[in-house]
Structure 1
Amino acid sequence: MSSLKFEDKRVQFIASYVLSSLKAKEDKWIKLWDNETLKNTVNEFIEKPEPRKIFFSLSQAGILLVLFPFLSNPVNHSTWPTVVSHDVMKYAHSLKRHTEVLIGHVNGKTVLPIPNENDEYFFSRTKNKSERSCLYAIETLIIEWSHQVYKLLLEDKSKASADTEALPVTEVEYWNLRASDLDGINLQISSKNVQKMIQLLETHNSCYLTPFKDMYKAIVYALMEANNMTLFLKPLRPVLEDMEGTEFEKLSVQFGRLFHLICLSWVNSEYFRIPGRLVTFLRKVSNLVIIQLRNYLDPTEVLKGELEDVHTRITMGIKMLSSFKKYFELYRKKLPEYFSKLENPQEPIHWEFSETLVFGKVDKYRKRLDSIKLLLENAMEFEKLDRVVIGGILGETLSTEVQEIFEEFGVVFKVFSQRNYDCLDPDSEEFLNDYHSISVRMDEYDQRLGSIFCRALAECPTPWHAYKLLTILSSLANRKQIKEQLEPCYTKILQDLNTEVSAVRKIVTAHEELAAKWKKASDVNTGNCSALGLHFSSFSCLFSIPPSEDTRVTDNWLP
C-alpha cells in the first residue's frame, strides 16, 4: 500500500496504481511530481475530457516518465507559423482517425473517422474563412463515411457462392456480427459530435446533407433487417449444433426439426423470405450434411475395408442424402399450411427456385456414391467366383478358368486400396479413370464367364443338374452380358424339361389306367412286383424335375 498522500484523490489513485503496476518505489513518483511539465500533463489529463489515455513508463535510468501527445499538443508548436501549425494538427488528427478505423477493421468493426470535440480544425467557427474550411472538412468526412457504410451495406455474405465449404452456423454468426456492427455505426452517427457537424451542414444548407440523411436511413433499415434475421435464425442454431453432434444414421430425425423452423422463419420474416437468401442457407446445410457423410464413411478407408461393411455404409449414405431431399420436398408442399396458421392468413409464397440450386453439390455426391456402390456390388459378385465348383467331365478345367478370372479381378481391384486420392470427392478425376478402367475389365470378365457357364450347362445331363449349377452361380447368372449368353442355354434346358415332363405324364397315365383296372379285379395282390415297379418309376422321374420352392434361378428361363 502506497504511503504517498495527495489532496487530490484522483492523483492519489493514479500514483498508487502506476507504482503498483510498474513495481516501482515511491521516490520515482516524487521525482516525477517535482517536474512541472510532467505534473501539468497529469493534471491536464485529470481535468480535461481529452486526451482519454495517459501512459507511464520507466526509463532505462529508472526514471518514471509520462507519455503525452507531441504533435497534437499546441504548446509544442506555439512558435510555429499558423499555417504550419494547422497542417500539423490536421494530419495528426487524420492519422489518429485512420488508425482507429484500421484497428476497428482488424477487430471486425466499422469505426467511422469522427473528430473529437477538442478538434479545432472541425469545430472552430471564429471566422468565415475557418468556418468554410471546417465545412469542407466535414463534407470530406461524410464522403469517407459513405464509402465505409455503403461498402458494408452492399456486403451481403448470404448471397455468396455456396460452392464453398461454409456451414450454416456461419450464416447465424454473420447476421449477429452484422447487427452488432450496424448498431455501433448507428451509435456513432447519433453521437453528439456528429450532430454538431450536421447542424453546421444545415446552417449552410450544404448539398451533402441529403446524401447523409439517405445514408442514415439505409443504416436504420439495414439494422432492422439484421436484427430481424438474428431473431429468426437464433432458434435454428441449437438444431444445427444437434446435427453436428448426432450420429449419421440418426441424422434424418433432425431434418424435420430443421425444415419446420425454416418454414416458420419463411412465413414470419419478410427479410428471411428472400429466395436467394434461403437457397444459400440450404446450400450451407447441404455442406453440413456432406461433412457428416464424409466423417461417417472416412474417404481414406472406403475402398480398403470389408466390402459388405463398406457397402452397408455407402447404402446408408445414399439413403440419408435422399432423406434430406425428401424432407425438403415434404415441407415445400406443406408451406400453405404454415401461411394458413398466421393471425392474418395470406397467400402462400412458395419455394419456386430450382432444386438444382440447392442440391447441386448433394447430387454430385449422390452420383459418386452410386458409382462406388455399383463398384462394391460388382466386387462382391466376383468374390463369389471363389466358391464356384463345376462338375462333369470338363468340370475341373472350367473351374480352373473361373478361378483364374477371380484372381485376375482381385489384382485389378487391389489398385483402389493402393490409391491415396479422395474417392468421395465428386470432382476427383483419378477415381473416375480407375473406375472406367476396371469397368472395361469387368465387361471382359463377364464375356469370359458367360462362355464358361454356357459350356458348363452344356455338360449337364439333366435339367436337375442344370438347376443345381445355376443355384451355385446365383446372381452371377443375372449379370447382363452373362445372361445374354445363357439365354440360348435356358431354351435348351426348357426343352429337356418338357421332354421329361412328357415322359412322366405318360408313366402317370399308365399308372392311373392300371390302378383302375386293378380296382375292378377282385383278386388284386397289393404286393404285385410290377405295380411297385411302376410306382418307383413314376416317383424317380418326378424327382428329376427341379423343385418349385426356389424360383430365383428359373425366373429368367422364359424369354
Structure 2
Amino acid sequence: MAGPEEEEGSPAEDAPGSDPRVRLLGERVLRSLRLKPERWERCAGSPEAQPLLRGFLEGAAGQPPLLLVTLSPAGQLALSTQLPASPGRSKALFFLRRGPGPLSAPPGPGELLYGDLPASSLEHFAALVEEVVAPVLANQKNHHSWPHVVSQDIMRHVHSLKSNIFVVIGQVKGKTLLPLPAGSERMEYIDCENEKTVELVDKSLVHAIESTVIEWSYQIQGALKRESSEPLLQGSNPNPKVELEFWKNRYEDLECIYNQLKTQKVRKMAELLDRVQSSYFPAFKAMFRDVVEALTEAQDINLHLTPLQRRLEEIENVEFNEVKPLISPLLHMVCLTWATSNYYNTPARIIVLLQEICNLLIQQAWNYLTPEDILKGEAEESLGKVREVLGILSCFKQTFEERRENLHTYFKPGQGVKEWDFQSLMVFARLDGFLRRLEMVEDLLATALDIMKLEKIEFSGIRGKALSQQVLSMYEEFQEVYKVLSDRSYDCLDTNNMVGGTGLQEN
C-alpha cells in the first residue's frame, strides 16, 4: 500500500554514499523486497543508477518524478523511471516525488510516496476490492446517516465493480466468467418447490436475476460468435497451430461456461425464474441450449484436430528439403478429420485449415531460402534451392488433388460421402502467388547463370574482337543491373513487395 513518507531513516553504516535520502530509499527497498543491504549498495553505487538517483532526488529538469526499483530473476536490483511494458515475475517498488525541486532530508509530509507494485496487478486489485473496498462500502454500519436511496446506489455500484473485475480477470485468462447477481447468496434458503415461499421472494432479487441473464447473454454470445477464420479475414497469415489452439481454447472456455451454468446456485436461479413465470426463463433455456450445442461442437472438433499436432510439428522441426515425405501423411490426417468429424466437415472449416497449412509451408520455405541472401549468394546454389522448394510446393498441390479425388475411400460403407466441392483457388490463392514469385526468382537466377557464361566466351575471325567486346559489354551491363538488384534490402519472396525498374515486378 502506498503511503506518505515522513520519517527519517536511520543511517546504515555500510550504505554507499553519505546522502541520507539515498539511505532512506534503501531502507524502504530492503524492507519491502527483503534483501540484504549489499544488494542495494551495489545497485545505488553502479554507474547506471547514480544519474537516476541524483535526478530523482534533486528534481532535475525533465526528470520524471517516478523512480521504480525492480528485482531481476537473477536477484539483481535495477532502477528505472518508467513503468515496464509487461509485468515482471516479482514485485517492484515505486517512489513518487510529489513536489518540484530537490527532495528534503527528511521528506516533508506528503512529499514522497512509496509503495509496492505486485507482479499480478489485476489479482492484487481484485483482492483489494474484495477484502478492503467492498467490505467497507457494503458495511451497513457505515450507512446509518445515509439516505436509503444513496445506500442502495452504493451497494449496486460495489457489486458492479466486483462483477466487472471478475469478468476482466476471466478475459485475461481466456475464460468467460459469469458474475452472479446481487443477493444470490440468498438462493440457498429459497425452496422453489414451495409456492408460498416463492410468493414471498423479494422482487428485487428476481429483477437482479433477470438483469444478470441479460448480461450473461451478451457475454456468452460474444464467446459463441468468435470464429477461427478471424485472423485470415483480418489479413494475417496464421499457421495451423492457431486453428488447433483456437478450438482447444474454445472447448475449455465453453466447458467453463457450462460448468458455471450447471452449479446448484444457478440452477436454483433458473427454477425461480420458471416458478415466477418470468419472461426471461425461455431466454435462459435458449442460452443454455446454445452453450451445450457449441460445447459439443468444440469438443468434437478439438478431439479430431489434436492428432494433427504431431504431423505439424514434424514439418516444423525438419529442413524444408525434407518435407516432401511428410506431406501425404498430413493430408491423410486432414481427410480423416473431414470424414469422421461431425462438425468439421464443412467447406468453411476445412478451407481455413488448408489455407493455414499453405501458410505454414510458405513460412518454412521462406526460412529455408533466406530471401535476403538468395540473390547475394552463389546463383547456382540459390537456383537449386529455389527449384527444390518449387518441387515440394507443387507436390503438395498435386497430393491435395489426389486426396480430393479419392476422398470417398475415407468414408465407411453406407456412410454418405461429402466431397470437397469447393474451388482449389479458395485454398491456394496465397500459395499460387508465392509460386509465381518463386518462378520469377528462378528465371532471374537461371538468366544470371547463363549470362555469367558470357564472361569466358571469345570469338575468332575478322569480327571476333568486335563481337567479343559486345558480349563483354552485355555481360558487364547485366552484372551492374544484377548487383543493384541483389544489394537491395527487401524481401524478394514477399508477393506484396512490388519493386519496379531494375527489381522484380509481376505483370
Do they superpose with TM above 0.5? yes
Note the 1:203-218 alignment, pairs <5 A. 203-218=275-290
Which region of structure 1 is more displaced relative to structure 2, 185-194 or 108-117? Answer: 108-117
Q: Cα distance 1:195–1:432, how it changes in 2: closer, same or farther (>3 A)? A: farther
Task: Specify the structure having the higher radius of gyration (Cα).
Answer: 1
1:426 equivalent to 2:495? Answer yes
Q: For each residue in 1:427-477, what CA deviation from the matched residue of structure 2 results, as whole angstroms up to 9, or x when unmatched?
A: 11116762369x9xxxxxxxxxxxxxxxxxxxxxxxxxxxxxxxxxxxxxx
Note the 1:331-350 alignment, pairs <5 A. 331-339=403-411, 342=412, 345-350=414-419
1:147 equivalent to 2:218? Answer yes
Residue 97 of structure 1 contacts residue 113 of structure 1 at CA under 8 Å; is this kept in 2? yes
Q: Cα distance 1:75–1:121, how it changes in 2: closer, same or farther (>3 A)? A: farther
Q: Cα distance 1:22–1:200, how it changes in 2: closer, same or farther (>3 A)? A: farther
Counterpart CA distance in 1 for 2:161 and 2:134 is 16
1:305 to 377, 380, 395: 377
Other-structure match for 1:492: none
Other-structure match for 2:446: 377
Q: Cα distance 1:299–1:203, how it changes in 2: closer, same or farther (>3 A)? A: same
Counterpart CA distance in 2 for 1:114 and 1:87 is 18
1:168 to 224, 240, 243: 240
Counterpart CA distance in 2 for 1:170 and 1:160 is 9
Residue 181 of structure 2 contacts residue 212 of structure 2 at CA under 8 Å; is this kept in 1? no
Counterpart CA distance in 2 for 1:160 and 1:123 is 48
Q: CA deviation at 1:130?
A: 7.2
Residue 171 of structure 1 contacts residue 281 of structure 1 at CA under 8 Å; is this kept in 2? yes
Other-structure match for 1:475: none
Which region of structure 1 is more displaced relative to structure 2, 191-200 or 367-376? Answer: 191-200
Counterpart CA distance in 2 for 1:188 and 1:214 is 16
Counterpart CA distance in 1 for 2:185 and 2:489 is 65
Note the 1:440-459 alignment, pairs <5 A. none
Other-structure match for 1:156: 227
Q: CA deviation at 1:105?
A: 1.1
Letter in 2 for 1:88: I
Counterpart CA distance in 2 for 1:101 and 1:253 is 47
Q: Cα distance 1:225–1:22, how it changes in 2: closer, same or farther (>3 A)? A: same
Note the 1:55-94 alignment, pairs <5 A. 69-78=135-144, 80-94=146-160
User: Secondary structure of 1:300's partner?
Assistant: helix
Letter in 1 for 2:138: S
Q: CA deviation at 1:274?
A: 1.1
Q: Cα distance 1:225–1:112, how it changes in 2: closer, same or farther (>3 A)? A: same
Residue 182 of structure 1 contacts residue 219 of structure 1 at CA under 8 Å; is this kept in 2? yes
Q: For each residue in 1:468-516, what CA deviation from the matched residue of structure 2 results, as whole angstroms up to 9, or x when unmatched?
A: xxxxxxxxxxxxxxxxxxxxxxxxxxxxxxxxxxxxxxxxxxxxxxxxx
Q: For each residue in 1:360-383, what CA deviation from the matched residue of structure 2 results, as whole angstroms up to 9, or x when unmatched?
A: 110001000111111111111111
Q: CA deviation at 1:232?
A: 0.3
Other-structure match for 1:101: 167
Counterpart CA distance in 2 for 1:66 and 1:275 is 53
The share of aligned pairs that are identical, in percent, is 37
Note the 1:353-392 alignment, pairs <5 A. 353-392=422-461
Q: For each residue in 1:73-128, what CA deviation from the matched residue of structure 2 results, as whole angstroms up to 9, or x when unmatched?
A: 23332454443333322221121111101111122110112137665699899997
1:196 to 268, 273, 289: 268
Letter in 1 for 2:156: K
Note the 1:405-424 alignment, pairs <5 A. 405-424=474-493
Residue 175 of structure 1 contacts residue 230 of structure 1 at CA under 8 Å; is this kept in 2? yes
Counterpart CA distance in 2 for 1:171 and 1:243 is 16
Residue 300 of structure 1 contacts residue 420 of structure 1 at CA under 8 Å; is this kept in 2? yes
Other-structure match for 1:223: 295
Counterpart CA distance in 1 for 2:167 and 2:353 is 31
Other-structure match for 1:9: none
Residue 181 of structure 2 contacts residue 208 of structure 2 at CA under 8 Å; is this kept in 1? no
Residue 158 of structure 1 contacts residue 281 of structure 1 at CA under 8 Å; is this kept in 2? no
Other-structure match for 1:553: none
Q: For each residue in 1:264-303, what CA deviation from the matched residue of structure 2 results, as whole angstroms up to 9, or x when unmatched?
A: 1111112110111100111111111001000010010011
Q: CA RMSD in A?
A: 2.9
Counterpart CA distance in 2 for 1:54 and 1:181 is 23
User: Secondary structure of 1:157's partner?
Assistant: coil
Counterpart CA distance in 2 for 1:54 and 1:325 is 55
1:325 to 393, 397, 406: 397
Counterpart CA distance in 1 for 2:134 and 2:445 is 75
Q: CA deviation at 1:160?
A: 4.9
Other-structure match for 2:315: 243
Residue 172 of structure 1 contacts residue 234 of structure 1 at CA under 8 Å; is this kept in 2? yes
Counterpart CA distance in 2 for 1:98 and 1:123 is 26
Q: CA deviation at 1:151?
A: 1.3
Note the 1:385-400 alignment, pairs <5 A. 385-400=454-469
Q: For each residue in 1:139-178, what CA deviation from the matched residue of structure 2 results, as whole angstroms up to 9, or x when unmatched?
A: 1111111111111111112465264221101111111111
Q: CA deviation at 1:67?
A: 8.5
User: Secondary structure of 1:69's partner?
Assistant: helix
Counterpart CA distance in 2 for 1:229 and 1:144 is 28
User: Secondary structure of 1:425's partner?
Assistant: coil
Counterpart CA distance in 1 for 2:231 and 2:387 is 32
Letter in 2 for 1:279: I
